[in-house]
């Protein structure tokens, strides 16, 4: 979507249809980049805050001609220095802007520019030697920009390998940064900077939304997302509460890390619920499924399906350090790998007129309690 937006902006700009907006667009980076720094800091996305600050500094210096002839004279060094910074940013973590790490970051920025200056100096200083020993293919132009191509390749692989919004933003930054130097006529600087600031702001806000509404361990929607959905529920719906049986004993037997692995796998089965059910991690080893527009009897088949899929699922343990087994879990050996299985109990209740969501949920919790009492591994209404 971001790419489509950029392409459309570029198209419009070339068509001259946006020329009336030119004055506004030229001012936008002055507003959007500082706003981006403030938002990124607020949500602890220091890499994007640094990048926005870097772009703002470049934009202010360029548009006000503060760098004078330095900018043209050292254009390649600035291009390469910026490229090194972005590549490095694709591999580090967000650590806050005003923390001891910021000193390391500042040093890294200086080192990036020093490396860019050093590389280009080496190429000029030893040009005759390099021309003599390297194949013709690696002429001075290729040699000069070789680290740039390498960095773009590395960041592209990184963004594909560890696909997240921040890495994608860094890759787009690098692409626009490079285009700005190699083909400046393609896109006015103010448009690139406006696009980048918008991408950063969108990235920070979307990332933070997912952080607030997704459970980190299982990837399921969180309890906060559940109460958000409740606001849009009509009068007819059912609430199911699901709880892993004897999970405390499972943890005691196999350790907390294995418990986490199992929680993830159980969550993936619960997420696959059919019948329009929406799954949430309520907390700990408890999950909730909401069936909008369904009474409890029509959810039973779908819940039974989920219960069976978990019961039949042989979970292969990755952890070799295992203690003795307990009654709580059934384990068997598959070749050398150890497999275990867990069961879940489910209680379901449908919303009744005049009832709040919390009251319906309480009744589904009581149904869950009955399922546990009756021997677990079953669904109760
Ligand atoms: N590994 C892991 N364990 C968790 C997590 N959240 C909660 N637990 C554990 O889940 C267990 C819940 O135990 P209980 O509420 O006593 O219930 P139970 O052992 O499942 O027994 P029944 O519900 O009666 O079948 C506790 O030992 C918690 O430590 C988590 O995120 N990871």
pLDDT one-digit tens code per residue, 223-280: 999 999 999 999 999 999 999 999 999 999 989 998 999 999 999 999 999 999 999 9
Q: How far is the CA of 263 from the centre of ligand 1 (A)?
A: 10
Give percent of the chain above pLDDT 90.
64
CATH class of the 223-380 domain in this structure: alpha beta
pLDDT at 323 over 60: no
Distance of CA 179 to the CA centre of its chain: 26
Q: How far apart are CA 67 and CA 29, in angstroms?
A: 18
User: What secondary structure letter does DSSP report for 221?
Assistant: B
The model's pTM is 0.70
Ligand 1 touching residue 304 (CB < 6 A)? no
Q: Where are the domains of the chain?
A: 2-213, 223-380
| pLDDT single digits (tens) 19-62 | 667 788 889 999 999 999 999 999 889 999 999 999 999 999 99
Q: What percent of the chain has pLDDT over 70?
A: 89
From the DSSP assignment, how many helices (H) and strands (E) are in the chain? Answer: 15, 8
CB–CB of 238/350 below 8 Å? Answer: yes
**Contacts with 264 (C-beta within 8 Å, 6 or more apart), sequence order:** 217, 218, 219
Residues 106-165: tens digit of each pLDDT: 899 999 999 999 999 999 999 888 888 888 888 888 888 899 999 999 999 999 999 899
Q: Which residue has the higher pLDDT, 9 or 48?
A: 48
Asked if the model's pLDDT at residue 218 lies above 90, the reply is: yes
- Tell me if residue 285 is catalytic: yes
Protein residue closest via CA to atom 31 of ligand 1: 284
The predicted structure's pLDDT at residue 130: 87
Cβ–Cβ < 8 Å for 159, 3: no
Q: What is the DSSP letter of 317?
A: P
Return the C-alpha torsion angle 194, 196, 198, 200, nearest 10.
-150
The count of residues in the chain is 381
Position 332 confidence tier, pLDDT thresholds 50, 70, 90: low
| Residue 105 in contact with ligand 1 by CB distance below 6 A | no
Mean per-residue pLDDT, 203-221: 92
């Amino acid at each position: 979507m971001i790419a489509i937006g950029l392409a459309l902006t570029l198209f419009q700009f070339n068509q001259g249809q946006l020329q009336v907006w030119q004055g506004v667009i030229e001012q936008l980076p002055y507003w959007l980049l500082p706003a981006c720094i403030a938002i990124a800091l607020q949500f602890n996305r220091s890499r994007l805050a640094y990048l926005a600050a870097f772009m703002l500094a470049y934009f202010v210096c360029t548009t006000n001609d503060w760098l004078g002839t330095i900018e043209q004279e050292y254009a390649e060094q600035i291009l390469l220095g910026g490229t090194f910074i972005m590549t490095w940013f694709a591999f580090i973590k967000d650590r806050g802007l005003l923390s001891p790490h910021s000193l390391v970051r500042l040093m890294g920025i200086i080192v990036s520019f020093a490396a860019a200056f050093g590389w280009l100096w080496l190429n000029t200083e030893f040009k005759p030697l390099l021309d003599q020993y390297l194949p013709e293919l690696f002429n001075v132009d290729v040699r000069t920009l070789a680290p740039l191509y390498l960095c773009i390749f590395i960041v592209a692989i990184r963004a594909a390998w560890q696909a997240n919004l921040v890495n994608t933003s860094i890759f787009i930054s690098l692409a626009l940064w490079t285009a700005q130097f190699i083909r400046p006529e393609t896109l006015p600087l103010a448009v690139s900077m406006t696009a980048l600031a918008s991408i950063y702001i969108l990235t920070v806000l979307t990332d933070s939304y997912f952080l607030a509404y997704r459970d980190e361990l299982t990837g399921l929607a969180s309890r906060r997302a559940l109460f958000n959905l409740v606001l849009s529920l009509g009068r007819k719906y059912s609430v199911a509460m699901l709880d892993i049986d004897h999970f405390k004993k499972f943890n005691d037997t196999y350790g907390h890390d294995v418990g986490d692995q199992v929680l993830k796998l159980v969550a993936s089965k619960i997420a696959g619920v059919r019948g329009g059910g929406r799954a949430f991690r309520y907390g700990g080893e408890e999950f909730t499924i909401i069936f909008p527009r369904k009474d409890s009897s029509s959810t039973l088949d779908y819940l039974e399906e989920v219960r069976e899929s978990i019961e039949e699922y042989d979970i292969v343990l990755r952890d070799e350090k295992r203690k003795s087994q307990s009654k709580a879990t059934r384990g068997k050996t598959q070749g050398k790998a150890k497999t275990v299985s867990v069961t879940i109990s489910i209680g379901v209740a449908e919303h009744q007129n005049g009832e709040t969501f919390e009251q319906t949920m309480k009744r589904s919790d009581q149904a869950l309690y009955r399922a546990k009492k009756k021997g677990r591994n079953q669904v109760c209404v």
